[in-house]
């Protein structure tokens, strides 16, 4: 197996660990609290630190500092790399502390901004304001974790950083259970996030230390921190636009039936499972490996990595799309339908899941292409693509929300991802996916997906339990590829 795929699998296994824990967390939240105005308030409050997290932890800054850190480690010294990373952690922490202070001063105003449909419900706004005060400090913890995770990736460690959020999810599950036992008090869920953030930070810090990182400001504050922030400004705008896309959906959903925000959240989390387990893993490894290839001036290797990444995404995401669309209702039913999660909640979440899944492939490729541009220190192109996606999302939200309700919000997000993905692909420098060479592969993938989808839907309608149906579907898909002569290892080697 190639070194690239080994790293993808390590990263994917780590993300799988975290996503499964997150999956169990969402099942627990749905069962204990259902879909109500209270859960709507929690998911909005939870989204606010995650909005900033996209800037500092998972998106703009995380992608921008990797090339600088890689150059320091390759062309300078360990001490220089440590100095740069330490300086960056301090600088970012100061910025985040300012954000924490502002949110603690104006919590109710911030919450109302993100859920205006509930503006007249003073009790709910007050509850959401209390939640945000407990949730926001997680932003600082997860950002430091992200920076240390970038260091670990460059040291060849992918599982530890990718699996670290499993600790957060485990702590939130414990908090959700304690809250359920205490008169369904959702504040304990917030406390769980806070404790989990501390555990995650400790976990990643220990392994960064084991891999050789030592906090170091010898020689003063690194001058490359300023360069990083200058480079990251356009990317911050792109990350901001992407998050605004999702926030537009939540804001509009606050004017729909109670629970609509929760339906979108539960569906999105299930939709994110294949996206996070594989597409993010591919993107994470691609960013690191392309940064190395660029440092060595190896254009051929860079293009080879992009081709491998696209093929990897197609092989996994096409069947995932098929399965989630065809079997959305029974999947939601078996995952969430228990305790306080009603049949109405199942229908509302399943319809949103189908519409989100339409854009699964495009979200995956969009993330990959963004990483390619970031690895080459080109932050402006992803911003332009994100802006096109924002305009598309807004237009289709206004068109679809009346006839489709919250499901129209989910579909608009997928259409926006398609527009953004298409733009980024055509702006890739010195690269074009060889459609002629891969047409046989694509035809076989489509055939395998159609065959799998038809069989699984038929088995479900026949009355077979959804779990064996899913297992049979996976077997049929890979068996179809095998019969048609697709050797996955050979394709990705």
Look at residue 44 and tell me whether its pLDDT is greater than 70. yes
* pLDDT higher than 90, residue 7: no
The more confidently predicted of residues 5 and 394 is: 394
In Å, the largest CA–CA distance within the chain is 71
Q: How confident is the model at residue 295, as a pLDDT? A: 59
Confidence band, pLDDT 50/70/90 cuts, at residue 227? confident
Q: Does the predicted TM-score (pTM) go above 0.85?
A: no
Half-sphere exposure of 207 (CA within 13 A, CB side): 24
Give pLDDT, residue 415.
93
Confidence of residue 10 (pLDDT cuts 50, 70, 90): low
Mean pLDDT calculated for residue range 11-35 = 80
**In this prediction, what percent of the chain has a pLDDT beyond 90?**
21
Q: Does residue 158 or residue 295 have the better pLDDT? A: 158
Q: To the nearest whole percent, how much of the chain has pLDDT over 70?
A: 84
pLDDT of 294 reads 60
Higher per-residue pLDDT: 215 or 8: 215
Task: Give the span between the Cα atoms of 390 and 384, in whole angstroms.
Answer: 10
pLDDT recorded at residue 174: 94
CA 159 vs CA 16, 27, 225, 452: distances in Å: 10, 24, 27, 31
For residue 21, give the nearest of 170, 158, 135, 121 by alpha carbon. 170
- Structure confidence at residue 289 as a pLDDT band (50, 70, 90): low
CB 376 within 8 A of CB 66: no
Mean pLDDT of the chain: 82
Residue range 380-413, pLDDT digits in tens: 788 888 889 889 999 999 999 989 999 999 999 9
Q: What are phi and psi of 297, to 5 degrees?
A: 70, 30
Question: What are the phi and psi torsion angles at 181 (to 5°)?
Answer: -75, -20
Residue 3's pLDDT band, with cuts at 50, 70 and 90, is: low
CA distance linking residue 415 with residue 250, whole number of Å: 17
Alpha carbon distance 243, 247 (integer Å) = 6
**What's the confidence (pLDDT) of residue 257?**
87
Rounded Cα distance, 275 and 232, in Å: 25
Residue 396: per-residue pLDDT: 94
- Across 198-222, average pLDDT: 84
Q: Which of 169-183, 305-319, 427-441 has the lowest mean pLDDT?
A: 427-441
Answer whether residue 195 shows pLDDT above 90: yes
Between 49 and 295, name the one with better pLDDT. 49
**Confidence bin at 6 (pLDDT 50/70/90):** low
**Does residue 179 carry a pLDDT above 80?**
yes
Q: Is the pLDDT of residue 437 over 80?
A: no
| Across 78-101, average pLDDT | 85
Q: In Å, what is the CA distance from 297 to each residue of 35, 119, 320?
A: 52, 55, 36
Place of tokens 């922490």: 93
Does pLDDT of 303 surpass 60? yes
- 329-367: pLDDT as tens digits: 998 988 888 888 888 899 999 999 999 998 888 988 888
Which segment, 18-22, 155-159, 454-458, is predicted with the most confidence on average? 454-458
């Amino acid at each position: 197996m190639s070194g690239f795929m080994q790293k993808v699998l390590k990263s994917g296994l780590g993300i799988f660990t975290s996503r499964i824990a997150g999956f169990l967390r969402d099942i627990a939240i749905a069962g204990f609290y259902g879909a109500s105005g209270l859960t709507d308030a929690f998911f909005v409050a939870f989204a606010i630190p995650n909005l900033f997290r996209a800037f500092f932890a998972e998106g703009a800054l995380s992608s921008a500092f990797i090339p600088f850190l890689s150059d320091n480690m390759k062309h300078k010294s360990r001490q220089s790399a440590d100095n740069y990373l330490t300086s960056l952690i301090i600088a970012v922490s100061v910025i985040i502390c300012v954000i924490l202070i502002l949110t603690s001063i104006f919590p109710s105003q911030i919450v109302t901004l993100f859920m205006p449909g509930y503006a007249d419900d003073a009790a709910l706004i007050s509850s959401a304001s209390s939640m945000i005060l407990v949730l926001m400090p997680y932003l600082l913890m997860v950002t430091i974790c992200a920076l240390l995770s970038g260091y670990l990736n460059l040291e060849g460690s992918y599982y530890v950083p990718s699996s670290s959020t499993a600790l957060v999810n485990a702590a939130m599950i414990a908090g959700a259970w304690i809250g359920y036992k205490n008169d369904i008090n959702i504040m304990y869920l917030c406390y769980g996030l806070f404790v989990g953030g501390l555990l995650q930070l400790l976990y990643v810090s220990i392994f960064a230390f084991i891999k050789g990182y030592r906090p170091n400001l010898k020689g003063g504050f690194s001058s490359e921190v300023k360069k990083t922030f200058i480079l990251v400004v356009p990317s911050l705008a792109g990350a901001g636009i992407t998050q605004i896309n999702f926030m537009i959906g939540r804001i509009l959903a606050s004017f729909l039936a109670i629970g609509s925000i929760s339906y979108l959240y539960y569906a999105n989390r299930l939709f994110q499972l294949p996206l996070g387990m594989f597409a993010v893993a591919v993107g994470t490894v691609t960013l690191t490996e392309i940064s190395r290839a660029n440092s060595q001036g190896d254009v051929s290797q860079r293009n080879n990595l992009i081709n491998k990444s696209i093929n990897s995404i197609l092989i996994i995401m096409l069947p995932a799309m098929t399965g989630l669309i065809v079997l959305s209702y029974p999947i939601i039913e078996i995952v969430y339908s228990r305790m306080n999660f009603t049949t109405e909640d199942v229908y509302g979440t399943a319809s949103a899941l189908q519409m989100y899944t339409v854009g699964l492939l495009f979200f995956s490729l969009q993330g990959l292409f963004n990483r390619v541009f970031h690895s080459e220190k080109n932050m402006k192109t992803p911003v332009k693509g994100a802006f096109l996606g924002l305009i598309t999302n807004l237009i289709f939200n206004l068109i679809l929300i009346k006839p489709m309700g919250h499901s129209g919000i989910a579909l608009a997000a997928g259409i926006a991802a398609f527009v953004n993905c298409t733009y980024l692909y055509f702006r890739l420098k010195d690269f074009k996916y060889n459609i002629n060479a891969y047409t046989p592969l694509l035809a076989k993938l489509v055939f395998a997906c159609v065959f799998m989808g038809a069989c699984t839907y038929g088995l479900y309608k026949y009355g077979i339990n959804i779990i064996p149906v899913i297992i049979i579907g996976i077997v049929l898909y890979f068996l179809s590829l095998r019969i048609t002569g697709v050797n996955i290892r050979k394709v990705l080697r």
